[in-house]
Amino acid sequence: MTVVGDQVSGEVVAPEPPVEEEQSYAPPKRRTNRAWWLVVPVVVSVAFTAVIPLMTVVNYSVQDVFSPVDRVFVGLEWFRAIARDPEVHAALVRTLLFSLQVLLLEIPLGVALAVVMPRRGMGVSLALVLVALPLLIPWNVVGTIWQIFARGDIGLGGWTINNVLGINFNYTLDSTDAWITVLLMDVWHWTPLVALLAYAGLRSIPEPYFQAAQIDGASAWATFRHIQLPRLRGVLTIAILLRFMDSLMIYTEPFVVTGGGPGNATSFLSILLSKIAVGQFDVGPAAAFSLLYFLIVQVICYVFFTVLTRSGR
Amino acid sequence: MATLMLPLLWMFGMSIRPNEDILGAFSLIPQRVTFDNYVTFFTDSAWYSSYLNSIIYTSLNAVMSLTVALPAAYAFSRFRFAGDKHLFFWLLTNRMAPAAVFLLPFFQIYQSVGLFDTHLGVAIAHMLFNVPLAVWILEGFMSAIPREIDETAAIDGYSMPRFFIRIFLPMIRSAIGVTAFFCFMFSWVELLIARTITSVNAKPIAATMTRTVSAAGVDWGLLATAGVLTIVPGAIVIWFVRNYIAKGFALGRV
């Protein structure tokens, strides 16, 4: 008697080949280490601008520098001091809180702005230029503008709040007001970045999608939710991460507006860092601080980065 | 949109009135209009030369950043190679480095290699944050272009470099426009590094602006004028790339 071959082969199903992570639409990426040659210029330029300076900072962080020739190796002393400093902890919390608020305000606002921006005609150019304007002002000038703008006596913004709305607003005395001023300034300054990226993303959606949606009688919200938003994932990832990273490092603008005050109300990590580095000229602790700062930002961003890039795949 | 413009209009208003009026009392519309501030800007060489300096190193930076970023972004979007993901993230980490961290080392290194106070020096220093950004944005846009196009071109007998220049670059020109704009912008507004590694010859406009803070107080009018004028080159750049941003990507048109 012979075995029924069909039955046997029918039962033993070969396991599916493991699915590639980026299986979506295209054939899998080609695996070749020759691609390294394409990356070499970037690696060289970054090595010169980032790695070498960073090594110097590491060098400083483990020494007590009295003068260029007189220095003592102190090990991890500075790191220990910085990590225990309550002022640093407070500044860290403040910075994180600020970043979260920035994201919550700027991302929806930016996308909304991008959606309502005109899609064709002369209005396109005009809208693009107008939206981009705040981005093109040097940061210290942004700070200066807002410093005047929010002033109660001669600034348009502050004057309006005080005299028209009747709210007593003074960012140099009240810490909440100072926080709001810096936050508003950041929203004003950076929402355009989100809007520009989102706009570029929206333009990549082929017109037929919208026509089809129209024929189906989809509402504006449904069109946005099911056609525009999914297509924005890539650029929004960039926008969110960029805004997150930059808001963690914000320095110039709040420094000009409030100088970190009143009290310590707007002392973010970077402002505290420069106080130690330039104000007190403690090179060692400043270097240790900046390395820890760098590390914290990286860890947070790494988590963020992996979450954002994995979730969509 | 209108609220977006308010502080800018306010700044423009400040630039065309004398200082006494700015500090005197609040007024929405300038009482006396003067263009003295603009005259000062364009006759004082410290002002207009630093303006030119900024334009030179910013353009230089945009070109250099794009040149090194384009092939790298292509590699990241098309191939898998040993350590690609780590390398990509490592590049990004440089975008996260607080500029203050690099001030002292930059100062020392640039002094010793003779890049101090040169346009090239600032352009290279700004590659620190612009190259990762350029790679990142370009990679995102390139990945949106189906890989089949590369393969079709290969079958048609295109070599890699020829395909890249003749077919691929034109396809992503909108992305290049957007990226160039962002490089320009971030380099244009950066002050901390640019100020540290320059003294006279390549001094950026943003650093000259701090000059208005003198013993006599802040020259608000002149500062506002400079502020208004700093927007101009960027506005011109975005005017040129507007079509690339607006036209969208040539997806599926080939």
Residue A103 has a CB neighbour count (10 Å cut-off) of 18
pLDDT digits (tens, 9 = 90+) for A48-75: 888 888 888 888 888 776 666 667 777 7
For residue B108, list chain A residues with Cβ-Cβ distance below 8 A: 56
pLDDT digits (tens, 9 = 90+) for B9-27: 777 877 777 766 666 656 6
Determine, yes or no, domain membership for A21.
Answer: no
Q: How does the average pLDDT of chain A come out, rounded?
A: 78
pLDDT digits (tens, 9 = 90+) for B2-11: 566 777 777 7
Q: Which phi-psi region, left, alpha or beta, contains residue A303 (left: φ > 0; alpha: ψ -120 to 50)? A: alpha
Q: Which of B27-31, B183-187, B190-194 has the lowest mean pLDDT?
A: B27-31
For residue A124, list chain B residues with Cβ-Cβ distance below 8 A: 242, 246
Q: How far is CA A98 from CA A108, A186, B186, in A?
A: 16, 10, 21
Per-residue pLDDT at B123: 92
Determine, yes or no, domain membership for A159.
Answer: yes
pLDDT digits (tens, 9 = 90+) for A192-201: 989 988 887 7
Instruction: Tell which residue, B68, B45, B107, B58, has the closest CA to residue B230.
Output: B58
Per-residue pLDDT at A220: 82
* Contacts of B23 by beta carbon, 8 Å cutoff, 6+ apart: A154, B220
A146 touches chain B (CB under 8 A): yes
A299 touches chain B (CB under 8 A): no
Determine, yes or no, domain membership for A103.
Answer: yes
- pLDDT band, very low/low/confident/very high, at B229 (cuts 50, 70, 90): confident
CA distance to partner chain B, nearest, from residue A31 (Å): 5
CA distance to partner chain A, nearest, from residue B130 (Å): 10
Determine, yes or no, domain membership for A35.
Answer: no
For residue B247, list chain A residues with Cβ-Cβ distance below 8 A: 203
Domain containing A139 equals: 87-281
Determine, yes or no, domain membership for A258.
Answer: yes
Per-residue pLDDT at B164: 86
Overall number of domains in chain A: 1
pLDDT digits (tens, 9 = 90+) for A88-110: 888 899 999 999 999 999 999 99
Per-residue pLDDT at A103: 93
- Put simply, the answer to whether B94 touches A50 (Cβ < 8 Å) is yes
- Put simply, the answer to whether B72 touches A39 (Cβ < 8 Å) is yes
Residues of chain A with pLDDT > 70, as a percent, come to 85
Most B CBs within 10 Å, among A34, A44, A46, A207, to test the B interface: A46
* Contacts of A4 by beta carbon, 8 Å cutoff, 6+ apart: none
Given a cut of 60, is residue A312 above it in pLDDT?
no
> Please, how many CA atoms are within 13 Å of residue A272, restricted to the half-sphere of its CB?
25
The residue with greater pLDDT, A121 or A131, is: A131
Residues of chain B with pLDDT > 70, as a percent, come to 85
Token code pair at residue B200: 């006279």
Q: How does the average pLDDT of chain B come out, rounded?
A: 80
* Contacts of B153 by beta carbon, 8 Å cutoff, 6+ apart: B163, B167
DSSP A134: G
CA distance to partner chain A, nearest, from residue B112 (Å): 13
Percent of chain B as helix, strand, coil, to the nearest 5: 75, 0, 20
Q: Which of A39-53, A162-176, B130-144 has the lowest mean pLDDT?
A: A162-176
A58 touches chain B (CB under 8 A): no
For residue B69, list chain A residues with Cβ-Cβ distance below 8 A: 42
Determine, yes or no, domain membership for A181.
Answer: yes
Given a cut of 60, is residue A8 above it in pLDDT?
no
pLDDT digits (tens, 9 = 90+) for A192-237: 989 988 887 787 777 778 888 888 888 888 888 888 888 787 778 8
Per-residue pLDDT at B107: 83
pLDDT digits (tens, 9 = 90+) for A260-275: 777 777 788 888 887 7
A76 touches chain B (CB under 8 A): no
Q: Which of A8-12, A160-164, B2-6, B11-15 has the lowest mean pLDDT?
A: A8-12
Q: Which of A46-55, A176-185, B242-251 has the lowest mean pLDDT?
A: B242-251
Answer yes or no: are the C-beta atoms of A250 and A186 closer than 8 Å.
yes
Determine, yes or no, domain membership for A45.
Answer: no
pLDDT digits (tens, 9 = 90+) for B58-99: 999 999 999 999 999 999 888 888 878 888 888 888 887 777
- pLDDT band, very low/low/confident/very high, at B247 (cuts 50, 70, 90): low
Most B CBs within 10 Å, among A126, A136, A149, A270, to test the B interface: A136
Q: Quick one: average pLDDT of A32-55? A: 84
DSSP B212: G
CA distance to partner chain A, nearest, from residue B4 (Å): 6
Token code pair at residue A161: 């709040």
- pLDDT band, very low/low/confident/very high, at B230 (cuts 50, 70, 90): confident
d(CA A233, CA B155): 32
Most A CBs within 10 Å, among B64, B238, B239, B251, to test the A interface: B238
Nearest to A138 among B67, B109, B230 (CB): B230
Determine, yes or no, domain membership for A16.
Answer: no
Smallest CA–CA distance from A269 into chain B, residue:
B98
Question: What ipTM does the predicted assembly reach?
Answer: 0.78
Count Cβ atoms within 10 A of the Cβ of residue B132 and give its class: 0-12 exposed, 13-18 middle, 19 or more buried: buried
Q: What is the CATH number of the domain that holds A203?
A: 1.10.3720.10
Given a cut of 50, is residue B250 above it in pLDDT?
no
Smallest CA–CA distance from A203 into chain B, residue:
B248
- Put simply, the answer to whether A305 touches B89 (Cβ < 8 Å) is yes
Per-residue pLDDT at A28: 66
Token code pair at residue B101: 């961290």
Per-residue pLDDT at B185: 87
Given a cut of 60, is residue B33 above it in pLDDT?
yes
Most A CBs within 10 Å, among B101, B113, B251, to test the A interface: B101
- pLDDT band, very low/low/confident/very high, at B120 (cuts 50, 70, 90): very high
The residue with greater pLDDT, A136 or B213, is: A136
Per-residue pLDDT at B31: 65
